[in-house]
Structure 1
Amino acid sequence: MRSHLGDRILKVDHAGEHGAVNIYRAQILVARWTAPKLVPLLRHFLAHELGHRALFHDRLKARGIRRCHSYALCGVGGWTLGLLTGLLGPSAIAATTYAVESVVLQHLIEQRRQLEITDPDAFDAVSRIVEEEQEHHDHGRDAMEAGAFWPPVLTPVVRASTEAVIWLGMRL
């Protein structure tokens, strides 16, 4: 069984994973100078995101569906966000990871609820990434330093931006 909603969710999640790949790539690029101790962890998270993007790509290909129109927007937006927050250092990197993943996890939970009966294949794809996204979220949350400047500034902006990109992707 397959649903139109499942197709749309897979497309948007694929674009979102592309954005996440670019966030981590850009953060790694500049964190070598601003947060060198974080680079191994960022590479670990990047490996997860590359796997997630490949998973969704494979599901789209099997269904004969083109990628989302927001794919390029997610890539450029992710790169820009990663570059800026990477330049701002460890606190900004942690806040960004936490903010993005908190929105992503909410959406994944809702997507699983919507897909469980209507599209088992899409449900399976979404379910496969939850544990690693939770790991990213928890690390970002735990790495934010109490009293640091960037978390209260970046978290609401990044959350709202992530929500907006998902909203737009579901409608393109």
Structure 2
Amino acid sequence: MASPRPLWQPLRHCQRSLLAQAQQPLQARFLSSTTPAPASLAAASSSSSNANPNTSNTSNTSNAQQQQQPPPPKPKKPLTPAQQAFLSSALRVNQAGELAATLIYTAQTPPLVAREPHLRPLMRHMYEQEAGHLSTFNTLIAKHRVRPTALYPLWSVMATGLGWTTAVMGREAAMACTEAVETEIGGHYNSQIRALLEMVGEWEAEGYEVGGEFRELIGTLRRIRDEELEHLDHAVEHDAKKAEPHWLLTGVIRAGCRGAIWVSERV
């Protein structure tokens, strides 16, 4: 007589069937993610992976270097003897002019402020700017080994006498002196700036590089010129035109300034 079939066997068979059905979707998803790509995609992938990586990297590096490499610097044109002489005379006369300006304000301040104390801040402001200008040109004279004017002692005496005399004559005369001096000095700086800009234009047209130091010099001259013209405006605001006789006083001072500039450029 055959032994009876255990009851647990049909249950186990059913359990296995259910487990197989439950796991089938998960296996299908896993298999789809690992299914081989189409032939065209596989071929493209294979060709890109088989390409020479060194050639691609070298090409990219070369292009990047060409893009980042700066253009070769332009040559700088040496100064001609005439240009060197012009720059030397400009620095020499500018130093002499700023020395004279500081001495004029130094001599004017005590007698002028004694009668009109409210002018003390203005006189100090103008003197400090002139002292800064003088320090700038002292530095440039030493840096470029330019010989200062040989008439330093004469200009010192004349500037001190001019400042004291006009201050004793009164506020209007002192301001007229400033008006006359700054008119000549401002025009002189303008002529220097124009000459330097002409040099720059010629060099650039010929394909030469203009050095930063040269451009800085032009910027310095422009700044100083503007401050000198500011002094001129201050003088006019404080009744320079009311000096008597205005035309004679300013005419004589301006003529003296032009003569001093001409001599200092050469001696």
Q: Same fold (TM over 0.5)?
A: yes
Q: 1:142-169, CA deviations, whole angstroms, 9 ceiling, x for partnerless residues?
A: 3226554242331111111111110111
Structure 1 unmatched runs, 5+: none
* CA RMSD across the alignment: 1.9
Cα gap change, 1:145/1:162 in structure 2, threshold over 3 Å: closer, same or farther? closer
1:134 aligns to 2:229 (yes or no): yes
In structure 2, distance between residues paired with 1:66 and 1:165 = 16
Q: Percent identity?
A: 32
Q: Does 1:57 align with 2:138?
A: yes
Is 1:171 the counterpart of 2:266? The answer is: yes
Q: Distance in 1 between matches of 2:171 and 2:226?
A: 23
Q: Give the deviation of 1:41 after TM superposition.
A: 0.7
Secondary structure, in 3 states, of the residue corresponding to 1:149?
Answer: coil
Asked if 2 retains the 8 angstrom alpha-carbon contact of 1:9 and 1:170, the reply is: yes
Question: Out of 248, 252, 265, which is 1:157 matched to?
Answer: 252
Where do residues 1-150 of structure 1 align in structure 2 (5 Å cutoff)? 3-116=84-197, 117=199, 120=215, 122-144=217-239, 147-150=242-245
What one-letter code is carried by the residue in structure 2 that aligns with 1:56? Answer: F
Give the aligned length: 172
Contact 2:105 2:163 survives alignment (8 Å) = yes
TM-score by length of 2: 0.60
Q: Which moved more, 1:34-43 or 1:112-121?
A: 112-121
Please give the secondary structure, in 1, of the residue aligned with 2:222.
Answer: helix
Scaled by the length of structure 1, the TM-score of the pair is 0.90
Which residue type is aligned with residue 24 of structure 1?
Y
Q: Which amino acid aligns with 1:79?
A: T
| The structure with more helix, counted as a fraction of residues | 1
Alignment partners' CA distance in 2, 1:157 and 1:87? 17
Which of 46-55 and 127-136 deviates more? 127-136
Q: Could you tell me how far apart the structure 1 residues matched to 2:242 and 2:168 are?
A: 19
Deviations 1:83-102 (A, max 9, x none): 00111111011100100001
Distance 1:35 1:161, change over 3 A: farther
The change in CA–CA distance for 1:128 and 1:71 in structure 2 (over 3 A counts) is: farther
SS of the residue corresponding to residue 146 of structure 2 reads coil
Larger Rg: 2
State the 4+ residue runs in structure 1 displaced beyond 6 angstroms.
Answer: none
| Equivalent in the alignment of 2:11 | none
Return the alpha-carbon distance in structure 2 between the equivalents of residues 142 and 109 of structure 1.
23
Rate the CA distance shift 1:132–1:145 in 2: closer, same or farther, 3 A.
closer
The structure showing larger relative contact order (alpha-carbon pairs under 8 Å, at least 6 residues apart) is 1
Describe the SS at the equivalent of 1:125: helix
Deviations 1:54-113 (A, max 9, x none): 000101111122322232222211111000011111101110010000111111100101
